[in-house]
Structure 1
Amino acid sequence: MYKNFLKRGIDFLLSLLGIIILSPVFLILCIAIKLDSKGPIIFQQKRVGKDKTHFNIYKFRTMRTDTPKEMPTHLLENPDYFITRVGKFLRKTSLDELPQLFNILKGNMAVIGPRPALWNQYDLIEERDKYQANDIRPGLTGLAQISGRDELEIDLKAKLDGKYTANITPLMDLKCFFGTIIAVFKHDGVIEGGTGTLNNKGDD
């Protein structure tokens, strides 16, 4: 009941409410991004959605327009060179993820779920297949995000995504939601230009 019906309804209402309440924040960040560097305010990137369909994820742009496309930040040779001044603040506070409220409203994403992989992160997609974690809507945050985020190896991240997929309940979603708030304030598990191991590609 919750997984198949209530969860989507709650996601829709939460994202709509979030967009309305945070509209002044959206406006301030849009102005800051535009004043800080040339380029669009919103960054779009092809990601893997439910049942391995593709969709464009929305983020506030945090990098220069000459940044190599379709490449996770930590694989760049010198990521700090490409990240803008406002972008550093947005990434540190995870405010760059706010436009994904529109992805949730549209139904591309959920509030809680596995973070959407890049379309070419074949190793992560393949690992998630083992746990049916590609069969549900990806999320703004999830169990892997409160368990290490960029520090996790691909296989462990996929296992955590599978654990969530097998246990989609209100209690689990609340755990991930409040765990994310704590992780953001503590700045846990975020590594620019690198990850916990060479096998980890990260997801952003």
Structure 2
Amino acid sequence: MTMLLTAEGLCMRYGGQVVFEDLHLAFGAGAVALVGRNGAGKSTLLALLAGLDAPQAGRVLVCGHDLARGQGARAALAWVPDASVAYDFMTGDEFLRMVQALRGCAGPHRALLEGFGIAAYLGARFGDMSLGTRKKLMLAAGLMGDAQVVLMDEPTNGIDADARAFLVDQIKARAHKRLVLFSTHDRDLIALTGARVQALPARDA
């Protein structure tokens, strides 16, 4: 199996607390659920894998490219945070266009917008949206294009049942040739997507 995402010897500490010590992970195509109790370091690990934070030791490879060097790795990577990262003054369309420009990818297909129920909010400003609508725009931004590695932090938080069912379909449709790695406490999401479970040790983050 071709490895799409590899973590080699990751180390991360906050103060005197060790979050990861010499952590090694390797993932090929498929759906993978990152699980662990609150404070185990799921969000910290995803931030490292997405390149938002740099590990204190070790490295991350995306499709064979070192995440810390050049654009090769970042071009193959999409990231869906738990909370909105858009400015309140941005419209939904402006945010999606910004992500499209940053990633150099195609914009979302109409089916993606309609599946998440956000087509009507493209002209709305984030400051006027509900938390659920903001989250669905984050999901659409992460799932548009052809990224080989999609990372999602608690993707079902705050979304309605229809959007959740559509998300399950999107994960399953991508998993045969891409990696979709998501942190979750949602056991039904794991079962419905057929995701492999990757557990983290119980450490405080």
TM-score by length of 1: 0.28
**Greater share of residues in strand:** 2
Give the alignment's TM-score, normalised by structure 2: 0.28
- Judging by fraction of residues, say which structure has more helix: 1
